[in-house]
Structure 1
């Protein structure tokens, strides 16, 4: 068995923090396909430039994205090519675990589903 260190724990906690916000998760998924500028990401995701700036700062702090100056603008990309594959794998895993999660009839985030300790998938 591999020894788990505080560094491993901290790295997973940073990833969890980054993915805990829907906008940050959407940014990471968008950057899987290609690098992008903040203004283009903001327009594509329907958020303000200020929100995009704040979320990109968080993702930079978590070590998940890097910026490359391009004249007066900065182009953002995933910090490591392996992240694109890992994000895709996590997304597929989440959909396998609960295929109805985040669909039109999703109840996984409602207090009723969480209060009794039974997931919506198990309740059906």
Structure 2
């Protein structure tokens, strides 16, 4: 059984930032904004393999952003906190002016 840990605001934001830094993880979070989904449905709708999706769901669970809910032999995935859906909606409304050459590779050159 895993231990529940409460993180500081900074650590929580860092985990959210990490989750959003991966395109597939971000797409999973955005897909779960409206309703829970089965992994097979998510994999098909996102066009990724079930194994790849499973790895990303494991990461998102570890970051505390999604949770699995058992339903017989199935496990539905949903956002772990209802506030996360509205936070993602707010982030989607952001309009940023960015340097197209910054933060495109493995390292961010802004620092």
Q: TM-score, normalised to structure 2's length?
A: 0.81
> Matched residue of 2:77: which SS?
strand
**1:97 Cα offset (Å):** 1.5
RMSD: 2.2
Q: Distance in 2 between matches of 1:17 and 1:23?
A: 12
Question: Deviations for 1:52-100, whole angstroms, at most 9, x for unmatched residues?
Answer: 100000000000001000111100000111100000111111xx113x9
**If you compute each CA radius of gyration, which structure gives the higher value, 1 or 2?**
1
Identify the residue that residue 16 of structure 1 maps to in structure 2.
17
Moved over 6 A (4+): none
Q: Which runs of 5+ in 1 are unaligned?
A: 1-5, 118-124
> Matched residue of 1:39: which SS?
helix
**1:109 Cα offset (Å):** 5.7
Give the number of equivalent residue pairs.
102
Higher relative contact order (CA 8 A, sep 6+): 2
How do 1:29-44 residues align onto structure 2 when only pairs under 5 Å count?
Answer: 29-44=30-45
How do 1:38-77 residues align onto structure 2 when only pairs under 5 Å count?
Answer: 38-77=39-78
> Matched residue of 2:30: which SS?
helix
Higher helix share: 1
Q: TM-score, normalised to structure 1's length?
A: 0.73
Identify the residue that residue 92 of structure 2 maps to in structure 1.
91
